[in-house]
């Protein structure tokens, strides 16, 4: 959580189990794969207002554990929906472009720039939530955070609602 707060995505990924679940693939995010956007830039934008309280152990059994943590950060879902609302009219105009590859690159850049603007706005909508993170011991016996919907919620507030909006549950 401290690495996220500091905007160090690479370091944060060392605390996450590399086996992704269907819900959230932190590893691919760390490798910069997110719909043609610069994930590092987005991550640094998210981390600017990221705050959390000390995690509290909820349970511990065998190689697994659960910790609860209160997190406050920019509401990712609000930033994404604001971005889509702002960019959509321009997207329709670009849809009829002769050079679709160039239009796609321009659209990706516009989406990234607009999303960063909404994530870093002084009046950005904030979300505080309590998240229970699932932990699992790795081969060395160290606990790693499971890359699942709970981690996604801890990193990107309300991101799950975006999937629901687009029917990707």
- pLDDT attached to residue 167: 59
pLDDT in tens, 114-164: 999 999 999 999 999 999 999 999 889 999 999 888 998 999 898 888 767
Question: Which band of pLDDT confidence, cut at 50, 70 and 90, is reported for residue 98?
Answer: low
pLDDT in tens, 50-83: 999 999 999 999 999 999 999 999 999 999 999 9
pTM score, whole prediction: 0.81
How many domains in the chain? Answer: 1
Please list the residues that pair with 44 across neighbouring strands.
none
Question: Which band of pLDDT confidence, cut at 50, 70 and 90, is reported for residue 22?
Answer: low
Which are the contacts of 97, defined by CB distance < 8 A and separation ≥ 6? 103
Tokens of 63: 């190689």
Question: Which band of pLDDT confidence, cut at 50, 70 and 90, is reported for residue 38?
Answer: confident
Which is more confidently placed, 58 or 95?
58
Domain residues for the domain of 76 are 2-165
Please give the backbone phi and psi of residue 31, each rounded to the nearest 5 degrees, phi first: -85, 10
- pLDDT attached to residue 88: 84
- pLDDT attached to residue 105: 81
CATH number at residue 18: 3.10.450.100
Question: How far is the C-alpha of 84 from the C-alpha of 101, rounded, in Å?
Answer: 20
- Residue 117's Cβ-count burial label (10 Å; 0-12, 13-18, 19+) is middle
């Amino acid at each position: 959580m401290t690495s996220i707060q500091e905007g160090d995505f690479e370091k944060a990924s060392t605390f996450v189990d590399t086996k992704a679940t269907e819900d959230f693939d932190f590893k691919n995010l760390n490798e910069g794969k997110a719909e043609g956007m610069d994930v590092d830039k987005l991550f640094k934008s998210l981390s600017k207002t990221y705050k959390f309280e000390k995690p509290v152990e909820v349970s511990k059994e065998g190689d697994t554990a659960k910790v609860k943590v209160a997190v406050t950060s920019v509401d990712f879902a609000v930033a994404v929906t604001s971005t889509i609302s702002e960019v959509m009219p321009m997207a329709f105009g670009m849809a009829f472009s002769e050079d679709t590859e160039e239009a796609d690159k321009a659209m990706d850049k516009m989406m990234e720039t607009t999303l960063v603007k909404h994530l870093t706005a002084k009046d950005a909508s904030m979300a505080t939530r309590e998240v229970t993170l699932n932990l699992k011991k790795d081969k060395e016996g160290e606990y790693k955070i499971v890359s699942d919907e709970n981690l996604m919620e801890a990193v990107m507030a309300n991101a799950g609602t975006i999937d629901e909006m687009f029917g990707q549950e």
